[in-house]
Structure 1
Amino acid sequence: MNKRLQESKPDFDFVGVYPGGTLIYVLMRKRDEFDLIALPVKDHGENDNGHVLSKTLCDGSMHIVFQFWLKERTIETIRADQDKIRREREVLASVDPSWGDR
């Protein structure tokens, strides 16, 4: 990862709640703290999106997913995804001009 981006990362965990409040993601910054969570770990493997480990706590309809990223997405991968989305939108707008108003 770019050193400037690595240094700009906050030194705290991030919590994201999906609408409806039934799915909560907790992105862990420190591996040792992630390892202290007494749940089985799932290794999702490495691909273009990076390499992530997760631990999930389910209680009925509530799911809390703890994640630790071993390797994050590269800037090049993020830009390629953005370019792909832009091209798809241009194609949709050329087929249906009203689509561009959305």
Structure 2
Amino acid sequence: MRQLLIYKASRNNYGTRKIKVKLKERDIIASRRRIGRIMKQEGLVSNYTTAQFRPHKDTCNESNIENIVNRNFNQQPFRNVVVSDLTYVRVGMSWNYICVLIDLFNR
């Protein structure tokens, strides 16, 4: 349980890598997997752990939608058909979403 003492002494900042280095300085051999497993069992997470984006599979694009344009893009009046795309980018430490709207009249 020395891993827990090192973790608490770091004010909850150290992760498995730094804890392993500190244990090695004290001549204690432990794998990062073991340290990570103990941290997980105790519910310990480093303050510097960043959230990872996980895309979620969604079936909303799988629905049957009537094709009213029929690939006839050049003869559409102004703002008759607008298409969009949604994507995400990471800015700093957070994810931001961008939605682009394109009018098929003049793109």
TM-score by length of 2: 0.16
Which structure shows the higher strand fraction?
A: 1
Whose radius of gyration is greater, 1 or 2?
2
TM-score by length of 1: 0.17
Higher relative contact order (CA 8 A, sep 6+): 1
